[in-house]
């Protein structure tokens, strides 16, 4: 039917203020303002080539460009050193733990700057029992929390620039140089929360209730992370 909504949008419809589809991205503006923008994209798995994985990217702007000043620039650099990712620990009963983002270690090494990894945010997230329970129920493949770090010189403002800078990414040097330039003179403070969830079959072949549970849980998980990040900054739990 002409007015029928795409399945990913239908699954989280009650949380959406407005949305649009810019192939291959579903771009969502949630009703709650904890997440500014949510981008969803279907991905094919490497081994089978089937569209089993979904990427979710949520952004949370803390300080917009027009409010940046010297103090905000220092805050950005502090938060940058707090970038983190999810790791599952344990042999039999694996538990979710946030640890420093592996790309951050490489960034520090290549930058040559006298900076070091910090654990403020990962520690705060690990103490959030509501968040940990959401993660245990959904069991996402990955969660990576970074700072928006693009100068926009090399690519359009699309999903690609929100993907975290990682060692295996193509165009590594361009991404690193952008991140380094942005670190030295940041123009905004925006958290970028990336997560991935892989299903056993394409979602159109799964029960709607199962898909709705997964997409709703993912939305709630990203919202809870965003809420925690915003509160951590606003309550000055992360010190410059």
Q: Is residue 239 part of a domain?
A: no
The answer to the question of residue 24 being in a domain is yes
205 CB-side CA count, 13 A: 7
Alpha-carbon Rg for the chain, nearest whole angstrom, is 18
* % the chain with pLDDT above 70: 87
The predicted model gives 161-183 an average pLDDT of 64
13 assigned to some structural domain: yes
Tens-place pLDDT, residues 38-66:
999 998 876 667 889 999 999 999 999 99
Residue 238 has pLDDT above 80, yes or no: no
Inter-residue contact 225 to 125 (CB < 8 Å): yes
In the beta sheet, which residues pair with residue 96? Answer: 88
Instruction: Kindly report, residue by residue over 129-157, the tens digit of the pLDDT.
Output: 999 999 999 999 999 999 998 755 444 44
Residue 153 lies in a domain: yes
Q: How many domains does the chain have?
A: 1
Which residue range(s) make up the domain with 220?
Answer: 7-234
């Amino acid at each position: 039917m002409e007015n029928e909504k795409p399945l990913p949008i239908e699954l989280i419809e009650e949380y959406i203020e407005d949305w649009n589809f810019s192939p291959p991205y579903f771009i969502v503006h949630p009703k709650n303002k904890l997440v500014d923008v949510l981008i969803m994209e279907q991905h094919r798995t490497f081994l089978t080539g089937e569209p089993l994985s979904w990427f979710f990217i949520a952004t949370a702007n803390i300080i917009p460009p027009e409010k940046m000043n010297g103090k905000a620039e220092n805050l950005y650099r502090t938060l940058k050193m707090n970038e983190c990712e999810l790791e599952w620990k344990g042999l039999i009963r694996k538990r979710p733990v946030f640890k420093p983002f592996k790309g951050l270690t490489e960034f520090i090494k290549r930058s040559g700057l006298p900076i070091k990894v910090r654990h403020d945010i990962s520690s705060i997230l690990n103490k959030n029992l509501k968040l940990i329970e959401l993660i245990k129920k959904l069991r996402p493949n990955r969660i990576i929390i970074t700072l928006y770090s693009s100068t926009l010189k090399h690519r359009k403002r699309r999903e690609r620039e929100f993907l975290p800078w990682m060692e295996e990414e193509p165009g590594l040097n361009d991404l690193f140089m952008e991140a380094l330039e942005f670190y030295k003179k940041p123009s905004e403070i925006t958290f970028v929360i990336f997560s991935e969830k892989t299903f056993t079959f394409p979602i159109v072949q799964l029960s709607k209730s199962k898909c709705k549970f997964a997409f709703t849980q993912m939305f709630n998980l990203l919202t809870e992370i965003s809420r925690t990040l915003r509160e951590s900054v606003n309550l000055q739990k992360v010190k410059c």
